[in-house]
Every structure is written in C-alpha cells, then in structure tokens.
Amino acid sequence: MRISTTILLTDETIRPARLARELEQRGFGGLYLPEHTHIPVSRQTPAPMGDPLPRPYARTLDPFVGLAAAATVTERLALGTSITLVAQHDPIVLAKQIATLDWMSGGRLTLGVGFGWNVEEAADHGVDWRRRRDVVRDRVALMRALWADEPVAYDGEFGSVRASLAHPKPVRPGGPRLLVGGAAGPTLFAHIAAYADGWLPVGGSGLRDAVPDLHRVWRAAGRRGEPALVPAFVLPSPGKLRHYRDELGAEEVVLQLPSGTELEVLRALDDYSRYL
C-alpha cells in the first residue's frame, strides 16, 4: 500500500519544492494538494471540519502551480489533487493544465475531483449549487474529449467544445487516474461508477460498510475489476493502516500533514516515516 501525504500548503508554510524533495528522499509515495480559490468573509456555510474555519483554508496555494514545482524537483513522487473543484473551472483551460502537469511529470498525476462544501465560494464562480455534481460530470467528459488521441467534439448540457487540436496529451490514454471525493452514498457511488477510477474518501469512518456498496454499484454499471480506494486526510496509526490495507484493500492512503512551518512539517515527516 502506497503511503502518500496531503497538506494545506500556504504562503506561511513549507514551500512545495522543498516538501517534495523531502518526501521523495524519505520514500513517501506521493503528494496531494487541496484547492480553494478564495473564502468569502460573509461565509454562512458550516465548515465540515468545524468552525471557526482554520486559517490555512483562506491561504492555500494553487494546487497545479504547487504540484508543478514539486514535479520539477522529483522523479518518482506521485502527484495529486485532493481535491480539484472542477465546477469552479473553465473546463477547456483546466484540461490544458491537467494535461500539461501530467506530461511534465511523466504521468505521475492523480486527479482527485470533488463537489465542494462552500456554497459562497462556488456562487462566486457562477455555480448552481443544486447542479454542481452534474456540472462536474459534464466537464470531465468535455476534458476527456480534449485528451482524446484524435480531435473529437463534445456537446454537453453545461459546455461544449469543437473537435480540436489540443496538446500535450496526458500520458495515460483518456487522462490521468481520476478519483472522486465525497461522502458515501448512492449518488456519489453512481458518479464514481460512471466516470472515475475510484474513491477518495476523507478518513476511514464507515468504510467497512460503504466499500461493499460501492463495489455493487460498480459491478451494476458494468465496470470491470474493482474501484480504487484511497482514504485521504488520514491521521495514522499502525492498526488503522493495517485495516485499510488488509481488510479494505486500499491501494494507497494519504496521510495528513500539519499546515505548519518547515520545521513542523519535517518533524511530522520524520514521525510518519515509521509507517513506510
């Protein structure tokens, strides 16, 4: 089971290139970065992690810029988003960013996508909150049209693109590995089975009961094999990691690093190294 990490990188924390070097030197599998474009001060949406909202959420670096910095100083470290708020992006521009980063890194990118929790943030991007899941699904399909080997048009409910020349292409045909984040349930699992490679849940609460449901939806959709399971934002313990690997079949786990100074983050890496 690959041991990766995630962190809210900000203008007050360790820099992405330094962190990436330290991760690779220690033998960690990957680095995942989250996304918030901004946090409206008039926010009325309750934070899922509890209020008051921690300071780093309003200061996060752009994940694609941060991961590009990480890619240039590493050779093996996997890169990922945890998660990309796809509904808040122009899909044509986002497709170019994803393909470029994947190509630059030699195919090391995992695209974690999600639907968001901050209604006010999404509204500033023009997102209809009730339709955001459908928007994400539509935009993933549009991006895959641009990633196709030959020019192909896409005409969707929320966007369209003419058959186009669009390079570079992601290393893997059809685009990088795509994981969907979110809480367990029929709606989420239907989305995963329809267009994703697996699930990127936050933590491990309830996974023992939820994973069999995901597998049933996956098979009912005619998908072969099994969906990837990658628990993220995990605070580790030996028993917890054994449970993910041996009982749930997780292929990767993403450990949460503190959004702290360089010294604080490096101390956490030293502590987490015992799980490698």
Query: Parallel, antiparallel, or unpaired for β 30-33 and 160-161?
Result: unpaired
Contact 215, 226 (CB under 8 A): yes
Q: Which domain holds residue 54?
A: 2-274
Residue-level pLDDT at 159: 97
- Tell me the CA distances in angstroms from 60 to 11, 205, 222, 244, 260, one per residue in order: 7, 26, 39, 29, 12
92: its two tokens: 């044509």
Q: Which amino acid is it at 23? A: L
Residue-level pLDDT at 204: 81
Q: How many structural domains does the chain have?
A: 1
- Show pLDDT as tens, one digit a residue, over the chain (276 residues): 999 999 999 999 999 999 999 999 999 999 999 999 999 998 889 988 888 999 999 999 999 999 999 999 999 999 999 999 999 999 999 999 999 999 999 999 999 999 999 999 999 999 999 999 999 999 999 999 999 999 999 999 999 999 999 999 999 999 999 999 999 999 999 999 999 999 999 988 899 999 999 999 999 999 999 999 999 999 999 999 999 999 999 999 999 999 999 999 999 999 999 999
Distance (Å, whole) CA 225 – CA 215: 9
Residue-level pLDDT at 49: 83
Instruction: Specify the CATH number for the domain of residue 57.
Output: 3.20.20.30
Q: Given the structure tokens 């995942």, which residue do they identify?
A: 32
Q: Which amino acid is it at 1? A: M
- Smallest CA-to-CA distance from 79 within 87, 68, 88 is with 68
